Amino acid sequence: MELKITPLKCTGCGACEIACSMYQDETNSTMVSSIILHREEKKNYFGIMIKTQKDVYLARPEGPEWLSQSEGASGPKPILLRPPCDGCKNREDKLCVKFCPSGSIEEGFTEEAG
Amino acid sequence: MDLYNGRLLVVDLTTGKVEINTLKEDFFEENVGGILGNIHLFEEYEEMDPLIIGTGPFTGTLFPGSCGGVISARSPLTGNLSHSPVTWFFTPEMKLAGFDHVVIGGAAEDPSFLWIRNENAVIREFPEDIIESWEITDYLRHELGDDRVQILTTGTYGFDGGLNAQIIENYWNSFERYGFGGLMAGKNLRAIAVRGLGDILLANPEKYMKGCLKVLNQTKNSPYYPEAFEKLVHSYSADPGIEEIKHRVDGCFNCPIPCRVFVKYNEPANELSSTDIEEPGMLLTDFEAFAILRKKGLNGEKAARVMEILSRKGIDPGVITSTKTNAFEGLLKEIEEISGIKEHVEGDIFLISRNNIANQIVAYTFGFCPVLSHMAEIVDYELFSQLIMDGADIEVNMVEVEGRINKITP
Ligand code: SF4
Ligand code: SF4
Ligand code: SF4
């Protein structure tokens, strides 16, 4: 994955979901992104998950984890049905990196679990 | 329509009628949205004693702080048309559900909630005995089967007819200061629930994003950047005192300078996992009330516990200014007994400070957070006009808009 994530910097703002939808479908939405924001609100437990080419990366605050795509989040549009992150290969910049206001998502490299 | 939905939801709780009306381009050319749109609609629907929720052109988009919406109604406290911000995630979801403005009038016969999604809405019955805000939100998210449903409600105090009843955003205190929670209770409206599975289209996505990025970079020059809760508490000459209980900083939808902090006092603050403790603490949203509690001598944890009680009951934390005691137990007793006319309500638009007032009204109009507008110099009429052009391909007469904004600026 062409991204480096620092989960504890995340503020749960959800800008990355919209930014990624703008890349994937040129639309302002939370339904077509490779990123899904997860939040257990009363516990303040939150973080993003990213569908990569083979797996799903879970940016858990207590430490990241890889899941298989079938284990990813459910909800109105499960991660299984979303496009995987391709590092915004059709652009010069990566939109989630550009619009993440906290610096939680940066350009970089994270080895996939396989 | 691009950038906007071009759709108005009108709900009459008395008759149970739900109407979806078109808002044409000229409505937005004239009113832009947000507070100016709400004022326009209030005149049209006044006889329904409506509660109106408005989004702006930037709400729910990549414009920084675009959680910003506005709720307008005749205040039960002052009798005047008044306006408060809606923050957190409600209005972005409302816009993604297909509506720019929602008008809710009349009163239901039985306890009800309004469920807005997929360009439609239904009025449904709500259990009589669930009246605490946290329970209401838990109940609805469970019933509707989605944790991302956003909810406006009030709490036990509001549904018991308390005057200072505040609108609660999911579980947390809002910046609503005009007793609109009581208005909801009077309408037998337990909650408004919304989920947005749709999208907002943009006429020229690349140019729109470029403008948003420019604003995002400007926010980074703010003295409050990158997080603001403690700095804001300090600005009321109070020491935050939350080092021991601070868990994580939380931002509303797309906020670059989060002013909210979650504190944990029912489990260790450094616990990062999701444990069996369902209610480990509280999201501190109202930094002004928190500062006042600290100045009354409460330690950080006790002040946070007071905020939790206020949010559960749906009491406006502004009442803290009129409580006389500074002892924790006495304060809780006073909060329990609050019923009279509140003393602190000022003006008809909630303002976070007396500085930069016009910029806060601009935020209310265009759909970003007035607190952010207070903290960062981002108002730029020329750029905003260009962004509406890039987003919606419509031309707004900014001189007229500025004139109307100045006219309602106190
Ligand atoms: S790099 Fe691009 S495709 Fe990948 S998650 Fe970010 S925005 Fe989406
Ligand atoms: S944009 Fe950044 S801070 Fe916001 S939710 Fe995504 S990763 Fe977290
Ligand atoms: S400044 Fe505060 S209230 Fe406004 S959007 Fe950011 S976190 Fe929310």
Q: Over chain B, what is the mean pLDDT?
A: 96
3-state DSSP assignment of residue B260: strand
Q: Is residue B81 located within the same domain as residue B165? A: yes
Same domain flag for B51 and B179:
yes
Q: Are strands B189-195 and B112-117 parallel, antiparallel or unpaired?
A: parallel
Total domains present in chain B = 2
Residues B333 and B358 in one domain: no
Question: Are B167 and B44 members of one domain?
Answer: yes
Assigned domain for B214 exists: no
Sequence spans of domains, chain A: 3-101
Residue B381 CB burial class (10 angstroms; 0-12, 13-18, ≥19) = middle
Q: Is residue B216 part of a domain?
A: no
Over the stretch B344-367, which tens digit does the pLDDT of each residue have? 678 999 999 888 899 999 999 999
Q: How far is B185 from chain A (nearest CA, A)?
A: 24
Domain end marker among B337, B363, B393: B337
Q: Is residue B265 part of a domain?
A: yes
Residue of B nearest to A8 (CA): B248
Going by C-alpha positions, the residue among B156, B163, B162 that lies closest to residue B78 is: B163
Residue B67 maps to a domain: yes
Give the structural domain span for B308.
228-337
Whats the size of chain B, residue-wise? 410
Is A76's CB within 8 Å of B278's CB? no
Cα–Cα dist B345/B82, whole Å: 11
Which one of B142, B246, B250 makes the best mutation probe of the A interface by having the most chain A beta carbons within 10 Å? B250
- Please name the residues in contact with B167: beta carbons below 8 A apart, sequence gap of 6 or more: B71, B84, B152, B153, B154, B174, B176, B180, B181, B184, B314
B143 with B166, same domain? yes
Of B265, B234, B228, nearest to B249 by C-alpha is B228
In a domain, B359, yes or no: yes
Angstrom distance (rounded) from CA B368 to CA B364: 7
Same domain (yes/no): B82, B122: yes
Cβ B283–A44 below 8 Å, yes or no? yes
Determine whether the interchain pair A27/B201 forms a contact, defined as Cβ–Cβ distance below 8 Å: yes
Residue B339, pLDDT above cutoff 70: no
A44 Cα to chain B: minimum distance (Å): 7
Q: Final residue of a domain: which of B306, B337, B368?
A: B337
**Ligand 3 near B87 CB (within 6 A):** yes
pLDDT score recorded for residue A49: 95
Which B residues 167-196 touch A at CB under 8 Å? 170-171, 195-196
* CATH number, residue B403: 3.60.9.10
Cα–Cα distance between B86 and B102 in angstroms, integer? 13
Q: What is the DSSP string of B70-128?
A: EEEEE-TTTSSEEEEEE-TTHHHHHHHTT-SEEEEES--SS-EEEEEETTEEEEEE--T
CA distance B173 to chain A (A): 13
Is residue B223 in some structural domain? no
The verdict on residue B218 lying in a domain is: no
pLDDT digits (tens, 9 = 90+) for B229-243: 999 999 999 999 999
pLDDT in tens, B213-234: 999 999 999 999 999 999 999 9
- B146 C-beta neighbours (distance < 10 Å), count: 16
| Residue A90 touches partner B, C-beta closer than 8 Å | no
In the block, tokens 């997860």 appear at A38
Q: Which numbered ligand comes closest to the C-alpha of B260?
A: 3
Structure tokens given for B372: 């952010």
Ligand 3 centroid–CA A19 distance in Å is 19
Pairing of strands B260-264, A28-29: unpaired
- What's the pTM value of the predicted model, to 2 decimals? 0.97
Rounded to whole angstroms, the Cα distance separating B245 from B151 reads 27
- Pick the closest to residue B338 from B209, B212, B187, B160 (CA basis): B160
- For residues B58 and B134, membership in a common domain is answered with yes
| Contact of B345 with B178, CB cutoff 8 Å | yes
pLDDT along chain A (114 residues), means of 10: 96 98 97 96 97 94 90 78 95 97 96 77
Pairing status of strand B7-12 against strand B17-22: antiparallel
Residues B18 and B54 in one domain: yes
Do B310 and B355 lie in one domain? The reply is: no
pLDDT category, B343, cuts 50, 70, 90?
low
